[in-house]
Structures are given as structure tokens and as C-alpha cells.
A and B are shown apart, each in its own frame.
Chain A
Amino acid sequence: MNSLADQLLVLVMLINLIMLGSSRLIFSIRAVAAQGVILGILPGLIHPFSLHLTGITASVILAKGIIIPYLISDAVHKAHIRREVEPFIGYVPTLFLGAVFTALAFVFAEKLPLAPEHKELLFVPASIATLLTGFLILTTRRKAISQVIGYLVLENGIFVFGLLLTEAMPFMVEAGALLDLLVGIFVMGIVINQISQEFSSLDTSRLRALKEE
């Protein structure tokens, strides 16, 4: 069972790299949706079956795989943009950085004082790699939509680490966290819509009226 989980985690890390290399926003959104669905399946593979688990699987797939991607692509359609143009750092360099970060994640995870039963699993390196990818997208892209995607990837990375602790996190807390994420993305979608109406662009580097003189 755990080998399947590991394969899925490799897939998660591959999706990270794909997102770093792609300029088409719709494609990135689909990729993050696929990542969300995988995250939904994972808890079922490593923990014994329970009602709690079914609830988590269903709500994660629903939220991260369906509703959130829908909200973001809706914002994309309304804003009439298709591509991320001119990121602060180009695609190839970020892809390269992403690969380096992934490798470092493995090295770093080796050194962490993990519980013995988690030593052999890919959860921790995958979590760190995804987290760093999220940061990379968040900081190097200009479009507001790309930044939301980066934030989602960051959350996914945290979620992967949380999988090790699914039994510790009560369902209410997890549901609350998911709901907050959902509403957060919803609000971000509205703000994005307003940005595109007000500035005729989603380029966040144009948001620079507020600063110290």
C-alpha cells in the first residue's frame, strides 16, 4: 500500500515541476486540481478505514479538486487572460530552481528526527518540495491568479505533512481549515475580478500606489 502512496507523492512532485514550467494559466489550474485530487486519495492509502477518513477524502477532493479550481478558472474567464507573461524570473530558471529545491528537500528530510515508521516514506520530502514550489510561484509570478495558485500549492505542501498526523487532527478542525481555504480563495477571486476591472490587467506589479514617499 505504501508503495502506491509513494508513487502518488512522486506524481505530486512532478506536478510541481510541470506548474513551474507552464505559462498557460488554465493548464496550471488543472494541474493544481489534479494535485488536490491526489491529496484527497492519499489519506485512504496510509490510514485504516474509518468514517473520519471517508469524510476527509470526500471533502478534500470536493474542495481542492473541484470547487477551488472552478473558482479560479471562473476568475480567469472573467478577466480574459490566458497566459502568465514575463514572470520576474523566467520559466527555465524557475524550473531549474524547483528541481534544486526538490533535491534539497530530500537531503533535508534525511536529517530530520522523524518517527521510525515515517523514515522510509516520501511524505516529508514531498511536503517540503511542494511548499518551496508554492513559494517560488508566489514570488516569481506577476499575475494575481498565478499568486493564488502559488498559495494553493503552498497549502498543498502543508497538507502533505499533515497527512502524517491525520489521526491527531480532529475532523472539525480539518473541515474548518478547508472551509477557510475555500472562502479565502472565493474572496481572492472577487478581489482579482475587481483588480482586472480597475487596472484592466491582473499584473500585480502595477499595484504600487501605496508606498512610502
Chain B
Amino acid sequence: MLYALVLIPLVGALLAWVIPDNRTRPLVLPVIALAHLVLTLLLLWHAPPPSANGWIWLDPLGKLVLLCISVLFSICAFYAVGYLAYRQERSNRVLCMGLLVCLAAMGLVTVSQHLGLLWVALETTTVAMAPLIYFNKNARSIEATWKYLLICSVGIALALLGLLFLAYSTYVAQRDATLLLSSLMATARGLNQGWLHAAVIFLLVGYGSKMGLAPLHTWKPDAYGEAPGMVGAMLAGGLVNCAFLAILRVYQVCLASGSSELLFFQRALVGMGLLSMAFAAVFMAKQADFKRMLAYSSVEHVGILAIGLGLGKGALFGALFHLLNNGLTKGVLFLASGNIHRSYGAKTTDIVKGAMTRLPWSGGLFMAGFIAITGSPPFAPFISEYTIVSSAFAEGDYLVAGAFLLFLAIVFIGMALTVLPMVMGTPSDTTPPTGYRDSVLMVGPPLVTMLIILVLGVWPPAALLGLLKEGVALLGVQP
């Protein structure tokens, strides 16, 4: 059944390739997305045992990422039908295929228990996303695609080197070289420390650049800024979480090694996390391009994820919950911003003013997404961010907690300075009207997501909390 997770989207990609009509082709997306979502829920309900060689297994961490990806993809798929109806001037074959191949690869990431296989799947997502960033086919999107492709490819190549170092550390310790997570963890105490250290550094740099942790985030504003809204949503909520899952796997190995390596990895994560938040805080202020602003918000939130993981203990729950919350909220923001971009034909705040008047639904959703992502109650990101901060205070990391709160405050102000005039201001009369009107297909999906985020914040379902606790147990120190 786990194989269907990869096969269903691939069949969909094949269908998208075969269907000649530009209007009917996008319909493949919601059909496949619904099948994928049903399958995901079935797998969450009753996960099959690990495969015979131990390569394929859906553990609680994988389940969490898979849930986020599947829900986000379904939302984007319905949105895509509406969006692509507006973009009939160009072929959407590559876009549909790329999204589906990427979904297949992301599914493979979540079920991989072999770090080599995980790497291959992650690299596939990198390549599959490149043509999607380039959908608009203009000079700016070419530049963004080139930067994304080169930086992420080099980054992920360094992660491969890190994996080879990891395998070598098992080899030097006079065992068979292996990259299977279960055997790595079983033998982790005997790993050669020097090679393990080198491996951890390279893996952090490699997966960190894919995830967009500062100072390796430079491709992010360009790629997110130029990609269509739903591609931005999949990048910020899908790929980021896949890369974070890879980092979680490294964390598991460090944890099992029972050495000082874990402490080093945690400190590095906290350091990079704080740096990411600082970068985001600086560049978010006075950001005129609202899609680039969302990219910096993504840099900020991968920073929060890294800090949560680096702090460990109680913050782990917050980090895992935030993975889901950030993914979904970014989905709302990118889809709503895509609508606003469509309506004004521009994405800078000197032209886009008073979106609430012109597009009550999309403008309102963007506003709600802004309130949620900056960590205001009653939305779910508030709970996850609060958990991380309160855990930092409880553990006595006052410096980290203080800096965290400070950066959150600066980001809130910086983001508000862009978002408020854009949504609440009075629209200028000079902006020519475009053909775009808010429609059910383009407003419904982000609206549903927003409701999910609200429900998660007010009344998180017990099943989800159970899953989060199982995930935390995998990352907690074993006695």
C-alpha cells in the first residue's frame, strides 16, 4: 500500500502527459490529490509494517510530514483548476506533470528509512520543482530558476558527501557500511566520531540550504517571488518539510550515538535558526514585494523549526506541530497572494493597495493568514510558537527565548507595515481592472485551509496530538 503513495501520482503525471487538451488536463490534479489524501488517511489510520529489508516504513515523523503534504497538495490541486483556467495562454502540461512527480517524490521522502533513498527522493523534488518556478517564462523567472537550481543542486550534492561520510564512519568502526536508519541507530554508539562530525556538518549544510536556513537561504526570495502562488505554497509547505524530515533523520542518528555530537548539532540548529529569524526580521522591514516578503517569512519559520528541534525536550512538540501549522498557513498566504497578484497584475505595495475593497475574500484571507503566521491566537501557529518559547524559558535558555521573542516582534511589525496598507488601504483609481474575479475554486481551498488552522488552534483533534506525541518520543532521549 505504501508503494501506491508513489505510484498514484506517477500515474497521474502520465495522464497529464497524455491528455492533449489544456482545459481538461488540470482536472487530473484534484482527482489524484483526493486519491492521495484518502490513501494518506488510511495509512495514518493503519500503517503497514516495515518492508522486508527495512527500507520502506511510515513512522510517526513520516506520517506527520505526509499528512501536511497531502492536505496541502489537495488544496493546491483544487486551486490549480481555477488558476490554470486564467492561464490558458500557455501550456500547463509541464506544470501538471511537475507537481505530480514532485508529489510522488515527496511521498517517497516520507516513507524512506534508507538515507540514500531519502536523498534520491529529495533530489528528485529539487529537479521536479525547477520547471514550475519557471512557469511564467520571463527574464525574472529564469533568473530565479537558475539560482534555485544551482544552489539547491550544489547543496544537495554536499548532503550526499555527508551521507558518504556517515557510511564511512560505520565502515571505519569495522562494520559493514550502511545507511539504513534502523541499523545506523542500533550501531550508532560505536561510530567513528571524527567522520560522524564531518557527516553532520555536511548534512546540515546540504539539507539546510534545501530548507532555506540562513545563511543558505539566498535562493528563496527569488524562487518564491517569481513562482506562481500554488508552486510557492508547495515549496514553502512541501519541500521545506521534506528537507526538515531529512534533518530529523540526522537528529535521530545523533541522538542514538549518545555522544557530544547531539549537543553540537542542537547548538548549530539553534544558531542557524536564530540567524534565520534575524535575517528575516531585517529584510522583511520595508519589503515592497509581498511575495518576497512571504519568502522571508518562510526563512523565519524554518528558523523557528530549527530552534524548536535544537532546544529539544518540550520544544520538540512545538517544532513538530509547527511543521504542520507553518505548511498550511503558508499555503493560505501564497494562494491568497496569488489571487491578489492576478487581480492587480502587480506584486509590489506601491500598486497593490486596499485589497480588502477590491477582493474582499482574497484580501481577507491574506489578512487572516498574516494574523495566523505571526503567531496570534486563536490560530494554531500560536500554540506551536508558544510551546517552543515556554519550553526555552522552562529550560533556562533565557537568551534564546529572549532573542526569539524579540525577532518575532520585529517580524510582526515589519510584516504589518507591508500587509496593512496592502489589505486595508484605499485602492488607487489608476490601477486598471484585470479579468480576475474571486471565484469558488480560487477562494474555497485557502478558506478551507484557514478553517483547518483555526480548528487546530482551538480544538486540536486527539488523534493528531497522539501522533505528535509518538513523533516526539522518537526524538526524545532514550534512557
Contact = CB atoms under 8 A, between A and B. Distances in A.
B114 A173 contact: yes
Contacts of A115: 168, 171-172
Interface string B65-101: 0000000000000000000000000000000000000
Interface residues of B, number: 48
B171 A144 contact: no
A151 interface: yes
B142 A194 contact: yes
Contact of A155 (B116, B157, B225): B157
Main secondary structure of the interface of A (DSSP, over half): helix
Given A113-B195, A194-B142, A210-B144, 10 more contacts: A115-B168, A151-B154, A165-B177, A172-B117, A177-B116, A180-B120, A190-B131, A191-B134, A209-B143, A213-B288
A88 interface: no
Interface stretch (A2-10, A12-20, A50-58, A156-164): A156-164
A208 B140 CA distance: 9
Which residue, of A180, A184, A199, has the highest number of chain B Cβ atoms within 10 A?
Answer: A180
Contacts of A191: 130, 134, 142, 145-146, 149
Contacts of B194: 112-113
A46 interface: no
17 contacts: A151-B153, A158-B157, A158-B160, A164-B171, A165-B164, A165-B171, A168-B167, A168-B178, A169-B116, A173-B120, A180-B124, A191-B145, A209-B140, A210-B144, A210-B222, A210-B225, A212-B221
A194 B120 CA distance: 27
Interface in A144-196: 144, 147, 151, 154-155, 158, 161-162, 164-165, 167-170, 172-173, 176-177, 180, 183-184, 187-188, 190-191, 194-195
Contact of B131 (A112, A187, A207): A187
A204 interface: yes
A96 to B, nearest CB: 23
Contacts of A199: 139
B226 interface: yes
A158 B154 contact: no
A191 B133 CA distance: 11
B157 A173 contact: no
Given A155-B157, A187-B127, A195-B142, A161 B164 contact: yes
Contact of B177 (A131, A168, A204): A168
A111 to B, nearest CB: 10
A172 B126 CA distance: 19
A177 to B, nearest CB: 6
Contact of A198 (B120, B142, B164, B176): B142
B146 A210 contact: no
Interface string B162-193: 00100110111000111100000000000010
Contacts of A147: 150
A177 B119 contact: yes
Contact of B160 (A144, A168, A177, A208): A177
Main secondary structure of the interface of B (DSSP, over half): helix
Interface residues on A, range: 35 or more
A180 B134 contact: no
Contacts of A212: 221, 283
A37 interface: no
Interface of B: 114, 116-117, 119-120, 123-124, 126-127, 130-131, 134, 137-140, 142-147, 149-150, 153-154, 157, 160-161, 164, 167-168, 170-172, 176-179, 192, 194-195, 221-222, 225-226, 283, 288
Which residue, of B143, B149, B179, has the highest number of chain A Cβ atoms within 10 A?
Answer: B143
A100 interface: no
Contacts of B117: 172-173, 176
Contacts of B123: 177, 180, 184
Contacts of A195: 142, 146
A162 B177 CA distance: 11
B411 to A, nearest CB: 16
A176 B112 CA distance: 14
A140 to B, nearest CB: 14
A173 B116 contact: yes
A184 B127 contact: yes
A99 B127 CA distance: 33
Given A177-B120, A194-B134, A199-B139, A151 B150 contact: yes
Contacts of B116: 169-170, 173, 177
Interface string A79-95: 00000000000000000
A138 interface: yes
B225 A180 contact: no
B177 A161 contact: no
B146 A207 contact: yes
B226 A210 contact: yes
Contacts of B170: 168
Contacts of A167: 177
A114 interface: yes
A155 B150 CA distance: 13
Interface in A96-123: 112-115
A58 B191 CA distance: 33
Contacts of B195: 113
Contacts of B144: 210
A27 to B, nearest CB: 22
Which 4 residue pairs spanning A and B have beta carbons closest together? Answer: A168-B177, A176-B120, A173-B116, A207-B143
Contacts of B143: 207-210
Contacts of B161: 131, 158, 161
Nearest to B108: A176
Contacts of B222: 210
Nearest to B161: A158
Contacts of A158: 157, 160-161, 164
